[in-house]
Amino acid sequence: MSNVLVIDVGTQSMRGLIFDDKGALLHKEQVKYKPYISKENGYMEQTADMYWSVMCQITQKITSEHADLMKDVIAMSVDTFRDTAVLLDENNNVLRNLILWSDQRVADTSEPLPRKHAALFKLVGMTRTVNAIRSRVKTRWIMQHEPELWQKVRKVVHISAYFNYLLTGNLIDSYASTIGHFPFDFKNKRYLGEKDLTFPVYGLDLKYMIPVCAPGDVMGNITAQCALLTGLPVGLKVIASGSDKGCETVGVGCVESNVASVSFGTTSTVQFSTKKYFEPEKFLPAYPSVLKDYYNPEVQIFRGYWMISWFKQNFARHLEKRAEEMGKSVEEIMNEEIEAIPPGCDGLILQPFWQAGLTTPEARGSIIGFSDYHTRAHVYRAIIEGIDFALREGLERMEKRGKQKIDFIAVSGGGSQSDLICQIAANIFNKPVKRVQTYETSGLGAAIVAFTSCGVFDSELDAIKSMVHYTDVFMPEPTAVVTYDHIYRNIYLKLYAKLQSFYKYLEKE
């Protein structure tokens, strides 16, 4: 028997997970933390030391209290959230707080791109999207607002690479983790060349980049110094895997062309696994999968199930005492409250663009249809339905662009723990929704890669067959399907176009 250890670094918590080669989660150690530090509205930062100290806390507890499981651990892997750059000096020390993926500050983009590039982007109608991407390159913001600090920067890495360095002493990362505002060629799994069309968009010289490797490669071994801090055994192999979303997609068994992976996480996403590279939206890339021969086209709903946390904090604090008395979570009580509310929330419809997308840079969130009989619970259910409507729209667009027919949905993320939320999804997508044996699907996906790397399985596909097990299936309910389909086609799909002019006006305010 063999086990692997996975460190799953999330926006709101970190988990240390031990899996066996049958896909059983043998132990979970979780630490929740404050998601971000905010100096101003829209600013979201966190210290790198916080994440590292939490990981050390987790591994020390696991190694000291579960030596029986650790003795069979043959390797470990780390998966993290995406698009969060760590700035390092010449000694690989962190220079400032991390600006998180959810941060909403924007950089100045008035400095023009090279004429040739600007003309080509204009020709294909991508000027607004390119400027939106440029504005979200956080290193550009730092160059503009903290120039003295920027002079000390020698490397710009993802948080995954920083963990790899602290564990092994090697500053390296998986190409399946290199997802963010970096000059990276996702199709060819390498950095962009200086002559590539999109290279100037990021404004980052290649001297700041680090080597990348393939998922499944051994990036190094636990050093003696790391062992003292973490309790991990010296020499334990550290295996490259990928980002949390990429690992989730593998962890729910999304490999065949007829299944889509839907994540009800802080950012909600819909992904495919495909050997054919195609853009999920025009001129936007598919990401390299943690399966070496595959890509993951993706549509994101930024601040997806983060909206649930926002709603709970602002409108459901009074439920905390009751939840504690009942031995339940606040989310469980809120889910019970919405069971009696019919599909469509009695006419309340939500558009879940709490944070704008790249092709919809002016977008904002909206709720329409309020009447005097609507309650707090109606708003909560409208959030859930609105996220699903947006994900369905993304899924249908990807089906068309990728020429794939999706027969069922495999779900992951915090929302997938709720039977009701899974049933609502089945009704809105009008497809069966399947749930696997563990909520920790990111960790399971990373474990699949690690076991395969160690030779326990001949391929990741063999590992998936052994380790991923569908335990729950939610079938569409015909009456609810008709209701949702009517709302989706006749209201939701038309909503953005109707509101776009107002969004653009608000953008100027």
With 0-12 / 13-18 / 19 or more C-beta atoms within 10 angstroms meaning exposed / middle / buried, residue 205 is: exposed
Give the percent of the chain with pLDDT over 70: 98
At 359 the pLDDT is 63
Closest by CA to 257, choosing from 62, 120, 398, is 398
- Euclidean distance between CA atoms 221 and 239, whole angstroms: 9
Residue 301 has a CB neighbour count (10 Å cut-off) of 27
With 0-12 / 13-18 / 19 or more C-beta atoms within 10 angstroms meaning exposed / middle / buried, residue 365 is: middle
At 488 the pLDDT is 97
Query: What predicted TM-score, i.e. pTM, was given to this entire model?
Result: 0.93
Query: Which amino acid is residue 428, in one-letter code?
Result: I
Domain with CATH 3.30.420.40 in the chain: 3-242, 306-405+476-508
For 106, 340, 360, 387, the CA distances from 500, given in Å and listed in that order, are 20, 33, 9, 18
End-to-end CA distance of the chain: 62
Closest by CA to 421, choosing from 315, 250, 307, is 307
Please determine, for residue 358, whether its predicted confidence score (pLDDT) is greater than 70: no
Per-residue pLDDT averaged across 224-247, rounded?
Answer: 97
Reported as half-sphere exposure (CB side, CA atoms, 13 A), residue 214 has a value of 10
At 355 the pLDDT is 64
At 137 the pLDDT is 95
CATH 3.30.420.40 assigned to domain 306-405+476-508? The reply is yes
- Euclidean distance between CA atoms 76 and 60, whole angstroms: 14
Give the list of residues 6+ apart from residue 440 with CB closer than 8 angstroms, or none.
8, 15, 17, 25, 28, 251
At 499 the pLDDT is 84
Angle between helices 330-337 and 306-315 (to 10 degrees): 90
At 391 the pLDDT is 94
**Strand partners of residue 269:** 263, 300
- At CA 255, angle to CA 252 and CA 261, rounded to 5? 45
Please determine, for residue 361, whether its predicted confidence score (pLDDT) is greater than 70: no
Give the percent of the chain with pLDDT over 90: 77
203-217, 274-288, 344-358, 466-480: range with lowest mean pLDDT = 344-358
pLDDT in tens, 23-42: 999 999 999 999 888 888 88
For 94, 153, 154, 162, the CA distances from 150, given in Å and listed in that order, are 12, 5, 9, 18
User: Who has greater pLDDT, 168 or 325?
Assistant: 168
pLDDT in tens, 365-402: 899 999 999 999 999 999 999 999 999 999 999 999 99
Per-residue pLDDT averaged across 280-295, rounded?
Answer: 90
- Run of H or E including 299: strand 298-301
At 310 the pLDDT is 85
Give the list of residues 6+ apart from residue 334 with CB closer than 8 angstroms, or none.
312, 316, 319, 377, 380
Instruction: Record the tokens describing residue 502, joined without a space.
Output: 């107002």
Please determine, for residue 306, whether its predicted confidence score (pLDDT) is greater than 70: yes
Give the list of residues 6+ apart from residue 186 with CB closer than 8 angstroms, or none.
179, 285, 286, 287, 288, 295
Query: Which amino acid is residue 211, in one-letter code?
Result: P
At 509 the pLDDT is 59
- Euclidean distance between CA atoms 401 and 348, whole angstroms: 31
Give the list of residues 6+ apart from residue 436 with CB closer than 8 angstroms, or none.
251, 252, 253, 410, 412, 444, 468, 469, 470, 471
Please determine, for residue 125, whether its predicted confidence score (pLDDT) is greater than 90: no
- At CA 176, angle to CA 219 and CA 438, rounded to 5? 95
At 296 the pLDDT is 96
- Euclidean distance between CA atoms 348 and 376, whole angstroms: 11
Give the list of residues 6+ apart from residue 415 with CB closer than 8 angstroms, or none.
264, 265, 268, 305, 308, 384, 421
Residue 95 CA to its chain's centroid (Å): 25
Backbone dihedral angles phi then psi of residue 188, each to the nearest 5 degrees: -95, 0
**Residues 365, 387: contact at Cβ < 8 Å?**
no
Instruction: Record the tokens describing residue 466, joined without a space.
Output: 């052994």
Reported as half-sphere exposure (CB side, CA atoms, 13 A), residue 444 has a value of 27
Per-residue pLDDT averaged across 2-8, rounded?
Answer: 97
pLDDT in tens, 98-113: 999 889 899 999 999 9
| 3-242: CATH superfamily | ATPase, nucleotide binding domain (3.30.420.40)
